[in-house]
Every structure is written in C-alpha cells, then in structure tokens.
C-alpha cells in the first residue's frame, strides 16, 4: 500500500483500562504487517512532550495480550492543555519523523487529540479505552466487559457471605455519570435493586422494594449503587437510612473501587482490541484522520472524534425493564 504515512506512534492516555495492552499489540503488529515503522510513546501526552519514545517491532509486544493496565504507562498531562505544551509535543513528533498517532484513552484524551489535529493538521485516530462504556459511537469501549466480569465475580462472593448471615449489602461500583456497569453487572449478578445516575427511583421506592423482598422470603439482598446515583446519598448514608427505616435489616457496605480497573482482559476485550488496532492503522494509511474506532452491530466503525466526545451514550431501557422483571 502506498501511503504518505510511514511512521505511526501509539500511546495510552487518561484512566487505564483492561485491553489497552491488547490494543497496543494490535497497533504494533499491524504496523509490522503493513511495513510501516511504529513508535511507542510512554506516559501519554506527557511522554509526547518529553520525547519519551521507543521503536517497536512485532516482537516488542510479545506476551502482553493477557496483561491488565498498560505497558506504555498512562499519565494525566496538564501541559498538553496549553498551546505551548502542544507545540513542544509537535516538535518532538516532527523530530522523530512521526507522521500520525493512535491514542488509546477516554474522552479527555480524544479532546486533546482533536485539538492537536486541528492546530497542526496532524493525523490522529482514537481507540476508546475506558471501563465506563460512556463514549458515543461505540457499543462497547475497551475494558468494559472485563470490568463487568470483575464486578460480577465480586458480587457473587459478597452474596455468599450475605446469604450466610441474612444480610443486606450495598455494593458501590464505578460510574459517576453513567450506570452501564451498575446496570449490566446488577442484572448479571442478580441484584435486588440497581441505583444508577440516569434514573432517580427515590428512597421510598427502595424501602418498599426491600420490604417486599424480605416479605417474599428472600434471606439476603444485594443493592448495586453506581457512584453517581441520584438518591442524594452516598452508599454509607444509604446504609444508615435503611437501617433507620427498616431495622429488620443488618446492612453492610462494600466499595469495589479500583479493583474494577485491573486484571487480565476478558476474551471479548482482547478480540475487540485486536480488531480496533487493525482498523486504526488501516484508517491512517488510507489518509483518514480525527476519527474514533468503534464497534456497532458487531462491525468495526469509524466516528468523527468530535461526535464521539460531544455525543452521549444512553442507558439501555430494555435492560432496566428486564432488571425490574427479574427482581419480582
């Protein structure tokens, strides 16, 4: 293939997610396959500004497909938010002969890439790497499936102790603005209630539901609470509220926290990462730019980065209905 793009860089930026390594591997191997040079940029945009680069070949990414986190490290970089910082980054890329880059990250990283592309007409493609699944233009982001599996595994364990002691557990999961993890993991783990930022069920409804649950003979209950739920109470305040209004319950709280980001990527995320990496490199070689790779209807797609950043993902109403039926 004859393309103006001869050297492609890859970086991970912002919050890490499982599957980032599989995506790095895919970008590096696709470059090798297409016979274009590949450069790794360490520590996100910070490493770009500092010229923290390393040449990669197909063997540089052996044995990483199964690893969580990112071998390239990630960083948050305030200098990249300034024109001066981006100028330094551009100078470093030009000095190293880099013609284009693939950034694996979330909407902040994409915003930086889009601004950079506009300022320097520099070819960029984004791969959505975030466990929150909150990026428009893709049904799944890299890491979401793995995070769900982690959460479900934890809830299964919590359920063992909950049922042994007839307890009610509030389990807080990640999701400040979106409830995709809470809703999917809640259905997958058979939670009695799921509190998400998109819907305010109200505290009365929660108490009602817990009362009914007890009366129907359930010996234990799990309530999943997304970080950003709209009850107006955090998970510890919810515990106090329920204990005060429903003293029949012995309530415990579990905050899953950062373990949701870690761990070996699921097979789904590895396959998705492999497909996205191939598409990202191919798009650059075809002269495309400022696009994000996504998956929709099981097809790999390209969406303008601007739309991906500005668009909003919607919670799956059908899944909310299913969860309501399941908790009967």
Sole binder of ligand ADP in the list 7, 76, 90, 275 (CB under 6 A): 76
Known catalytic residue: 204?
Answer: no
Q: Is the dihedral of CA 150, 312, 24, 69 positive or negative?
A: negative
d(CA 24, CA 41): 11
Other beta carbons within 10 Å of 232:
10
Residue 188 or 228 with smaller CB distance to ligand ADP: 228
Among 96, 101, 135, 95, which Cα is nearest to 117's?
101
Residue 134 found at the interface with ligand ADP (CB under 6 A): no
What is the 3-class SS of 60-122, one letter each residue?
A: HHCCCCCCCCCCCCCCCCHHHHCHHHHHHHHHHHHHCCCCEEEEEECHHHHHHHHHHHHHHCC
Sole binder of ligand ADP in the list 42, 53, 80, 144 (CB under 6 A): 80
Sole binder of ligand ADP in the list 31, 38, 45, 162 (CB under 6 A): 45
- Residue among 16, 37, 107, 132 flagged as catalytic: 132
Residue 168 or 273 with smaller CB distance to ligand ADP: 273
Residue 115 found at the interface with ligand ADP (CB under 6 A): yes
Which class for 59: exposed (0-12), middle (13-18), buried (19 or more C-beta within 10 A)?
exposed
In the complex, least distance from residue 14 CB atom to ligand ADP, rounded to whole angstroms: 2
Which class for 143: exposed (0-12), middle (13-18), buried (19 or more C-beta within 10 A)?
buried
SS3 assignment, position 158: helix
**% helix, strand, coil for the chain, step of 5:** 45, 20, 35
Among 257, 259, 280, which Cα is nearest to 22's?
280
The residue count for binding ligand ADP (CB under 6 A) is: 17
In the complex, least distance from residue 76 CB atom to ligand ADP, rounded to whole angstroms: 4
Residue 188 or 197 with smaller CB distance to ligand ADP: 197
Residue 147 or 195 with smaller CB distance to ligand ADP: 147
Residue 175 found at the interface with ligand ADP (CB under 6 A): no
Residue 50 or 243 with smaller CB distance to ligand ADP: 50
User: Closest CB to ligand ADP belongs to which residue?
Assistant: 108
Residue 73 found at the interface with ligand ADP (CB under 6 A): no
Residue 111 found at the interface with ligand ADP (CB under 6 A): yes
Active site residues: 132
Residues interacting with ligand ADP, by CB under 6 A?
13-15, 45, 76-77, 80-81, 105-109, 111-112, 115, 130
């Amino acid at each position: 293939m004859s393309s103006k793009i001869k050297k492609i860089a890859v970086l991970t930026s912002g919050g890490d997610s499982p599957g980032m390594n599989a995506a790095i591997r895919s970008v590096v191997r696709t470059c090798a396959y297409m016979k274009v040079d590949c450069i790794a940029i360490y520590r996100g945009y910070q490493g770009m500004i500092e010229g923290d680069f390393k040449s990669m070949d197909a063997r540089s990414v052996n044995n990483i497909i199964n690893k969580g986190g990112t071998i390239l490290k990630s960083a948050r970089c305030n200098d990249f938010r300034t024109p001066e910082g981006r100028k330094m980054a551009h100078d470093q890329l030009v000095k190293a002969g880099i013609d284009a880059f693939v950034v694996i990250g979330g909407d902040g990283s994409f915003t930086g890439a889009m601004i950079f592309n506009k300022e320097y007409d520099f070819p960029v493609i984004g791969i959505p790497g975030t466990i929150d699944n909150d990026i428009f233009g893709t049904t799944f982001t890299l890491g979401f499936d793995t995070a769900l599996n982690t959460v479900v595994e934890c809830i299964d364990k919590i359920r063992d102790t909950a049922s042994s002691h007839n307890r009610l557990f509030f389990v807080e999961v990640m999701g400040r603005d979106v409830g995709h993890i809470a809703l999917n993991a809640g259905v997958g783990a058979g939670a009695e209630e799921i509190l998400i930022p998109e819907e305010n069920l109200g505290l009365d409804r929660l108490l009602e539901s817990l009362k009914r649950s007890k009366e129907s003979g359930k010996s234990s209950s799990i309530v999943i609470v997304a970080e950003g739920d709209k009850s107006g109470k955090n998970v510890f305040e919810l515990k106090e509220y329920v204990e005060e209004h429903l003293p029949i319950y012995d309530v415990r709280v579990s905050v899953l926290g950062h373990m949701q980001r870690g761990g070996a990527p699921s097979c789904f995320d590895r396959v998705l990462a492999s497909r996205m990496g191939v598409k990202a490199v191919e798009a650059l070689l075809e002269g495309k730019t400022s696009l994000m790779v996504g998956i929709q209807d099981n097809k790999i797609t390209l969406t303008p980065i601007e739309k991906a950043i500005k668009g909003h993902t919607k919670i799956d109403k059908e899944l909310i209905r299913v969860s309501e039926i399941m908790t009967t």
